[in-house]
Structure formats: structure tokens, C-alpha cells
Structure 1
Amino acid sequence: MDTKASSSQGAGACNENIRIGPARPVPPLAFIYDRSTTRSHNLLDLRLTGCQNYAARWGWEVVGTWVDLGDHALEARRPQFGELIHAMRTQADRRKVICLVHNWGRLAQDGEVRSRLQRRVAEAGGCTATTFDESDERRRAVLSGVGCW
């Protein structure tokens, strides 16, 4: 008895509409951060536009922009950065999440403070990247076992 289905029985026509292949990768979520102590926002606006363009170039979905201004930009406790971390944490279990800054100095000029802020991002399930193609993804994953990839 022949158990093979022939195409004349309609099996081929049924399968023509089913496309099986690799799933389209879900793009990472970008959480843009900056800080500014000056009243003029010209440079801030340029940096934020640069972050938007960088995320678009890589196909990342921008969730939003968080900016600490004035004294908050210099303090260890930064309200907008805290809000960014909270928002990032809510998405980290579903998608890759990235805190995107123009350069490392936008987090902090002081290396110790910058490391603390990067650690908070890693603890929220993400990594930090700059528009200069720098990322702490590999370093975080190796040193702490925490990372977004």
C-alpha cells in the first residue's frame, strides 16, 4: 500500500501559503539618556539627535529620552536616570535593552560614578552603549554574569 500523498490530492496546495523560516529578530529597545547643566540646550539637542540617528542606523526602537538638568545632572542621585532604569527594568525580560548615550561623559566624567551608573543599567538587565560604537556589553557579561545579550 502506498502511503505517500501525491500533489494531485491537494497536499501541495495546502502548504503553499505556509512560510517557515527563521523568525525576524526583534530589535533592541534604546533608552536615550543625557544630562546638562547649562541653560542653552543647543549642544544637548545635537547629542540627542545624534542618539536618535544612531539608534535608527542600527534598527533599534527608541523607547524614549531621559535628561537630567541643572543640579540633578551633577548629583549622584539623578531622577531622570532613575526613571530610565525603572522603564528599562520593565522591558528587559522581553527584549534586549540598551541605555544609549552620546559618549561615556554623558553618564559621568568621574570613572567611579560612571561605573556605578553602568552597574545599575546591568542590574536592570541592560547594557550601555555610545554613539561612538562603544558598549559595556561584553565587559559586564564577563565581570558580573549580567548583560543584555
Structure 2
Amino acid sequence: MDTKASSACGTADCNENTRIGTARTGPPLAFVYDRSATRSHSLLDLRLDGCQNYAARWGWEVAGTWVDFGDHAIGVQRPRFHDLLDAMRPQAERRKVICLVHNWGRLAQDDEVRLHQQQLVAQSGGCTATTFDESDERRRAVLSGVGCW
């Protein structure tokens, strides 16, 4: 895969968006999230493996994997996603944190719900990225004039 601007965030050359007065050390910390409403987990396992490989490719440390199953995967209430946010908040003070999903649809198929999920990640101090080199950090960085873009 070619190197894109979005991939620079996994390198030391990245001018990371940090809070004033907060020192961030270590590689970015990835919080892998997915949801699955089906009984078969074969596609879920492939997506999760893809996230693990993507994180490894950019040298990100993986904090863990959170998956909402069944009704929680299709409803607005996502208990495992909220567990991920709870785990992400204290880490965001120490280092860059990323909610990593296979694609945007893994957060939600509905754009309004997905954007709300991304806002929750941002409020927890992180950004959301996909294994297709997409990130909401780029949009925030362009709008604010800071970041690694």
C-alpha cells in the first residue's frame, strides 16, 4: 500500500495534536472496536485480524478489543463501545489514542449515529480511524490548522 498523509500519524515525524501542558509518550494506543449481530463470527474474526495487522503495520500498541454483539450491535445502546471509551479517557492524557475500526460501517450504518459515535471518541480525547487509511483526525486537523496533516 502506498504511503499517504494519513499514514504519517503512525510515525515519529508526526506533529501530533496534543493538549497544552500534557506530555505524550510512546506509540499511539489503538482501541479496536466492532459489532456483530450474526451468530457466525468468521467475518468478525477477519475484520478484527485486519485491525490488529493494521495497528502493527503502523507500530501502534493495541489496548484491547471491544465488540458489541446481538441486539447491542444494531441498537443505539452499545455497552462495549462505552466500555472502550471509559478505558480510552485516562490513556488520552498520556498518549495519542485511536478507536480503530475496519470501516466506518462498523461504528454504525446510519451516518447520524456514526457521527455521534465519533464525537464520543473525540470527547474522550481520541480520534477514529479505519483500516482503509481514513481518519476523522484529518478533518479536525484541517479545520483547526494543527495536527499531523
TM-score (ref. length: structure 1): 0.78
Please give the alpha-carbon distance, in whole angstroms, between the structure 2 residues aligned to 1:143 and 1:40.
41
Aligned residue for 2:65, secondary structure, equals strand
Alpha-carbon distance change, 61 to 138 in structure 1, aligned in 2, over 3 angstroms? same
Unaligned runs of 5+ residues in structure 1 are 1-24
Please give the alpha-carbon distance, in whole angstroms, between the structure 2 residues aligned to 1:50 and 1:95.
23
Please give the alpha-carbon distance, in whole angstroms, between the structure 2 residues aligned to 1:144 and 1:68.
33
Q: How far apart are 1:53 and its partner, in Å?
A: 0.3
Unaligned runs of 5+ residues in structure 2 are 1-24
Bigger Rg, structure 1 or 2:
1
Q: Which digits, 9 at most, give the CA deviation of each residue in 1:68-119, with x for residues without a partner?
A: 0000001111000000000000100100000000000000010000000000
| Structure 2 residue 119 is matched with structure 1 residue 119 | yes
Please give the alpha-carbon distance, in whole angstroms, between the structure 1 residues aligned to 2:75 and 2:148.
27
Alignment of 1:88-103 (within 5 A): 88-103=88-103
| Structure 2 residue 54 is matched with structure 1 residue 70 | no
Q: How far apart are 1:143 and its partner, in Å?
A: 5.2
Aligned residue for 1:53, secondary structure, equals helix
Please give the alpha-carbon distance, in whole angstroms, between the structure 2 residues aligned to 1:76 and 1:100.
19
Please give the alpha-carbon distance, in whole angstroms, between the structure 1 residues aligned to 2:86 and 2:119.
14
TM-score (ref. length: structure 2): 0.78
Give the root-mean-square deviation of aligned CA atoms: 2.2
Aligned residue for 2:93, secondary structure, equals coil
Matched residues, number: 125
Instruction: Give the fraction of aligned pairs with identical amino acids, expressed as a percent.
Output: 78
Partner of 2:57: 57
Alignment of 1:1-149 (within 5 A): 26-141=26-141
